[in-house]
A and B are shown apart, each in its own frame.
Chain A
Amino acid sequence: MGAPNQGKNQLPLSTVQYLTFLTAGEEYAIGIGKVKEIIEYEAVTTVPNTPIWIRGVTNLRGRVVPVVDLAVKFGLPASRISKFSCVIITEVMFQGEELTMGVLADSVCQVIELSADEIEATPAFGTRVKTEYLLGMGALGKKFCLILDIDKVLSTDELLAVTESVADEGSVHAPAVDLGADAPAKQKAAHFEAGA
């Protein structure tokens, strides 16, 4: 829900609401159905050995929620915190389950309504964001905002891959000799785990 069907077999007038926000000078949009709430940016704790685009974790009324810096994720310098900075709390689907994650934004802009025919397909190049992260582009007057497929952007598959490789390095530790010999064993282990 919330995601436009890119025009196919869709009522031309159906509109969807989007929340737009600024990150690294660019305006992005997320389907409002994905947004749970917006909180002030305060007290984010860094978690070591995690990908750099995970800014850390914050306390959302007793729940520990990861906060993602999209600027870093998109290959730009880390966001600077100002008094307008906030965290958009979203619910993303991960392996069939809902996962609460926070998105750091430089500021939140507006809620817009876009009908399917107001959304243009993403050009194959020219955007700074990988096209697979985008659902399309919405017109904002003369400008465009990039509509994010937030499930894909925050897909933790990538995240898991990163933490696991860190974990492996961490567990290989002391005896320096074992690197070569250990590698096939590790593959084997992975193979059996996948088979089980």
Chain B
Amino acid sequence: MDLADFDREAVLASFLAESEEGLDLMERVLVQMESSPSDPELVHNIFRVAHSIKGNATSLQLSELAGVAHVVEDLLDVFREQHTLPSPDLISLLLKAVDELRAMVSTASTGNQELTPGQQNLRREIAHEVKKRSERAVNANGSAGDSGSAAKADTLPGPGHRTLRADVEKLDHMLDLTGEIVIAQGRLRRLIQKLGTEQGRAMLEMHREAERLYMDLQSEVMSIRMVPVGPLFRQLVRSVRDLARSHGKMARLEVVGGDVEVDTTVLEQLKDPLLHLVRNAVDHGLEKPEVRERQGKNPCGVIRLTAAHSGGNIIVTLQDDGAGFDRERILDKARRVGLVSAKDEIREQDIYDLVFQAGFSTAEAVTDLSGRGVGLDVVRRNIDTLRGTVEISSTAGKGSTITIRLPLTLAIIEGFLVRVGAETFVVPLEHVTECTELPAEQRCSEASGILSLRGTALPYVRLRHAFSLSGEAPKRENIVVVKINERYAGIAVDELLGGMQTVVKPLGRAFRAVPGIAGSTVLGDGRVGLIIDVPSLLRGVMQSSSQAQA
């Protein structure tokens, strides 16, 4: 019965992966049971999960883990037999069991482990529930419920198509390599073009062929990295449920577009901001059930999380039907902490922008959820790092909508190359709307200025100043016009060099959050070029300009 060590390793690895998936499913189904308590089939699905975890744990000699899985299985079996669904309290208990199982599974590789007192309690509590219920069943039916339905449950649904688990690090490396090939090919093409001979032309033809094949390979590599947003969104379903319960509110999260795909790195980094926004919606947005009823709303608040594609972007919207953002309170608070002065006229959009400022929070009491004044500014920073934007729109009494726009992938962007002095910078093309020469009569040597573009005022920032680069500005300067959050601004540079597919590389751990810089890339000549973080570069100038206009 003893498994050789290496066999055990392999079995353990697949046990970990399988159990994780199973527990995710269990969690999802439990939450679903609560909102649509009409489908007894649901119990069958998760019974199977508990059963297979128990079986696998036993064969790996993880008897404590198997024990907990066993009582969970028993409890679910009771509901299965009685064709009923667990009450909300029991669902909470089962969800707690899911959490504990998850914790035990993740530490399973270290061998069989003692149960913590909390886990022992949980196990006893569940066992107690089982006993209570099955006794009732015995009394009602006169026969004991048979818990041995193992044979059926052993057959897990077979995979529809063949899949393979791969380490994300390997995918990252593959992507790095494809990026390197782009650069190497660019340099090779330039060399061949220089040749100019008959042979050179033939080589160029071959090279084009290779480039086409390469493009196909690259898009395949990119597509492997794309994962659906559904699993992340569904985790939040559980969070919303738990949060609402602990705050005496009723809320349910609806997920739309769960099969929309996005790069795995983007998804990973979207997790924290989304959790934050969802918490914020439950804590600040949704009203207590009695308040909602008084206003003629359904006592159970609805938060709708939607994902959709739009061009090269994914758009995630979080919509709630709560009270909406309180404009007056935001303004009041902003004036008190000095973010705006009393006289300033503020545009609707700008008011909501204030909540993303560091240190801003309107919550009167500090709860465990929010009100600490850290939060939405972190959300904004996270989304900036993903080169995305976030916007709020809100109607008092009706609810609010938060729209997050993110690029589908972080790895490769269409870049627009510009030169300042000896340095080449990359402006992400998605921000660029047009380029224009800075008219001589509007030139000044200031760090920033305002330019008249077809009659409208366009604030611009001079890159040379913003980045303290050496050298004098040339006689003719150019302006790259960019658009952020429906507003336009300009970046003054020495020369426009044109577009290029750019492989984004992080600047590395040595640098953290360099203002104005989003990352780096290797240029065609092998030098490192810096990618400009347009939102952070322009945030200052945008704000002062909107105040100037008002």
Residues in chain A within 8 A of chain B (CB atoms): 43, 45-50, 54, 56-59, 62-66, 94, 97, 99, 101, 156, 159-160, 163-164, 166-167, 170-171, 173-175, 177-178, 180-182, 185-186, 188-189, 192-193
The binding surface of chain B is classed by DSSP as loop
Contact of B544 among A43, A99, A170, A174 (CB under 8 A): A174
- Given contacts A64-B505, A163-B512, A182 and B338 within 8 Å (CB-CB): yes
Nearest 6 CB-CB pairs, A to B?
A185-B359, A48-B467, A173-B540, A170-B515, A181-B338, A174-B543
Residues from chain B with Cβ under 8 Å of A56 in the complex: 528
- State the CA gap A178–B536 with chains docked (Å): 19
- State the CA gap A64–B510 with chains docked (Å): 11
Residues from chain A with Cβ under 8 Å of B339 in the complex: 175, 178, 182
Residues from chain A with Cβ under 8 Å of B544 in the complex: 173-174
Q: Which B495-540 residues sit within 8 Å CB-CB of chain A? A: 505-517, 520, 522, 525-530, 536, 539-540
- State the CA gap A178–B179 with chains docked (Å): 44
Give min CB distance, A155 to chain B, whole Å: 10
Contact of B507 among A47, A97, A180, A185 (CB under 8 A): A47
- A164 close to B543 (CB less than 8 A): no
- B536 close to A170 (CB less than 8 A): yes
Total number of B residues with any Cβ neighbor in A under 8 Å: 48
- State the CA gap A62–B468 with chains docked (Å): 27
Give min CB distance, B246 to chain A, whole Å: 19
Give min CB distance, A57 to chain B, whole Å: 5
Residues from chain B with Cβ under 8 Å of A99 in the complex: 508-510
Give min CB distance, B278 to chain A, whole Å: 18
Residues in chain B within 8 A of chain A (CB atoms): 176, 179-180, 183, 337-341, 358-360, 372-374, 377, 423, 466-469, 505-517, 520, 522, 525-530, 536, 539-540, 543-544, 547
- Given contacts A45-B530, A173-B540, A50 and B511 within 8 Å (CB-CB): yes
Q: Which of A62, A159, A163, A188 has the most CB of B within 10 A?
A: A62
- State the CA gap A124–B517 with chains docked (Å): 41
- State the CA gap A177–B528 with chains docked (Å): 39
- B528 close to A163 (CB less than 8 A): no
- State the CA gap A167–B337 with chains docked (Å): 20
- Given contacts A47-B517, A50-B511, A160-B512, A175 and B340 within 8 Å (CB-CB): yes
Q: Which residue of B lies closest to A156 (CB)?
A: B510
- A171 close to B358 (CB less than 8 A): yes
- State the CA gap A6–B272 with chains docked (Å): 46
Can you report 13 residue pairs joining A to B where beta carbons are below 8 Å apart?
A46-B423, A49-B467, A49-B514, A49-B516, A57-B520, A58-B528, A59-B526, A156-B509, A163-B512, A164-B512, A173-B540, A173-B544, A192-B374
- State the CA gap A181–B514 with chains docked (Å): 25
- A59 close to B522 (CB less than 8 A): yes
- Given contacts A46-B423, A64-B505, A189 and B374 within 8 Å (CB-CB): yes
- B337 close to A64 (CB less than 8 A): no
Give min CB distance, B177 to chain A, whole Å: 8
- Given contacts A170-B516, A193-B374, A43 and B527 within 8 Å (CB-CB): yes
- State the CA gap A50–B508 with chains docked (Å): 13
- B338 close to A47 (CB less than 8 A): no
- A163 close to B520 (CB less than 8 A): no
- State the CA gap A171–B381 with chains docked (Å): 11
Give min CB distance, B550 to chain A, whole Å: 13
Residues from chain A with Cβ under 8 Å of B514 in the complex: 47-50, 163, 166-167
Residues from chain A with Cβ under 8 Å of B530 in the complex: 45, 47-48
- B543 close to A175 (CB less than 8 A): yes
- State the CA gap A54–B528 with chains docked (Å): 15
- State the CA gap A97–B509 with chains docked (Å): 10
